[in-house]
Amino acid sequence: MLTQDFLRHRRREQLSEEELAALDAIMSPPVRIPKRTTIIRAGEPTDRSTFLLRGFMCRFLDAAVGHRQILSLETSGDFVDLHGYPMKRLDHDIATIGDCEVAYAQHDKLTALIERYPRLGRMLWFSTLVDAAMHREWIFRLGRLDAEGRIAHLICETFARLCAVGQVDDDTFEWPLTQQEIGEACSLTSVHVNRTLRTLREAGLVEIARQRVHVLERAKLARMAEFTPDYLYLGNHDRTP
């Protein structure tokens, strides 16, 4: 089933077989998108939303001169541009990071689905509210944490979300971000990201190398990042190790 991970880290309740099947029925066949591809641009009108089956994407805004600000990371099970459904256009771009696999849901079919299954509608609304909660925490991260804290916080969040979709193994997960991209997310230069990662490694907290993150001291990392997962509204039905 395509959508088995559907909003798994964005909901507190289980979906019924019937609901999942109905959802599956409106999705397009899977489509592959290569890494580093911008798939949606701010302002363009949209009539479908993109469900991420596999891989990493990001939402971002570019500043006038050069600098990019990444606004969120999207992982398997995210409806990356669901807000385009009520909003009809987006206010930011979206791009793949590594290679991705997606499926599309036409907006008119979503409307029909929600009418038939109002609970799904509420769940979709809920999932966009979790987005907003993650945005708020992102604001906190940039506004109140130093370089170490920001990177640690981003790793804690990613760890928690990937746990929920079963993509953390042995405290390790795939993370195809370059140091440049980590910097674009945390508002740091790649040079400073590099030095900060070294500090974290030397402190024995995390190791990041070759597209993989290995969390050694999860509790310490969370403490220095002032991270608590409440804002992710994860239920306890998830496959948290």
Partner DNA sequence: CGCGATATTGATATAGATCAACTAATGTGG
Partner DNA sequence: CCACATTAGTTGATCTATATCAATATCGCG
The site for DNA (CB under 7 A) is made up of 146-148, 178-180, 187-192, 194-195, 197-198, 209-211
Quote the crossing angle between the two packed helices 17-26 and 118-144, to the nearest 10°: 80
- 147 is in the binding site of which of a copy of itself, DNA, none (Cβ under 5 to 8 A by kind)? DNA
| Alpha carbons 48 and 168: distance in angstroms, whole number | 30
| Alpha carbons 193 and 187: distance in angstroms, whole number | 10
3-state SS record for 66-120: CCEEEEEEECCCCECCCCHHHHCECCCEEEECCCEEEEEEEHHHHHHHHHHCHHH
Tokens of 97: 């990071």
Q: How far is the CB of 144 from a copy of itself (least distance, A)?
A: 4
Residue 85, classified by CB atoms within 10 Å of its CB into exposed (0-12), middle (13-18) or buried (19+), is buried
Contact letters (x/-) for a copy of itself, 198-237, by CB under 8 A? ----------------------------x---xx-x----
Residue 203, classified by CB atoms within 10 Å of its CB into exposed (0-12), middle (13-18) or buried (19+), is middle
Q: How far is the CB of 102 from a copy of itself (least distance, A)?
A: 21
- 146 is in the binding site of which of a copy of itself, DNA, none (Cβ under 5 to 8 A by kind)? DNA
| Alpha carbons 5 and 3: distance in angstroms, whole number | 5
Local structure of 197: helix, strand or coil? helix
Q: In the set 125, 169, 190, 237, which binds a copy of itself (CB under 8 A)?
A: 125
Q: Which stretch binds a copy of itself (CB under 8 A): 2-10, 56-64, 162-170, 173-181?
A: 56-64
Q: How far is the CB of 122 from a copy of itself (least distance, A)?
A: 6
CA-based nearest residue to 74, from 150, 23, 9, 122: 9
| Alpha carbons 57 and 220: distance in angstroms, whole number | 28
Q: How far is the CB of 72 from DNA (least distance, A)?
A: 19
Does residue 126 interact with a copy of itself by CB under 8 A? yes
Cβ proximity to DNA, 135 vs 195, nearer residue? 195
Question: What does DSSP assign to residue 231?
Answer: G
Cβ proximity to a copy of itself, 14 vs 211, nearer residue? 14
Q: In the set 18, 45, 64, 236, which binds a copy of itself (CB under 8 A)?
A: 64
Does residue 63 interact with a copy of itself by CB under 8 A? yes
Q: Which spans of this chain sit near a copy of itself (rule: CB under 8 A)?
A: 42-43, 59, 61, 63-64, 67, 69, 71, 83, 86-87, 91-92, 122, 125-126, 128-129, 131-133, 135-140, 142-145, 187, 226, 230-231, 233
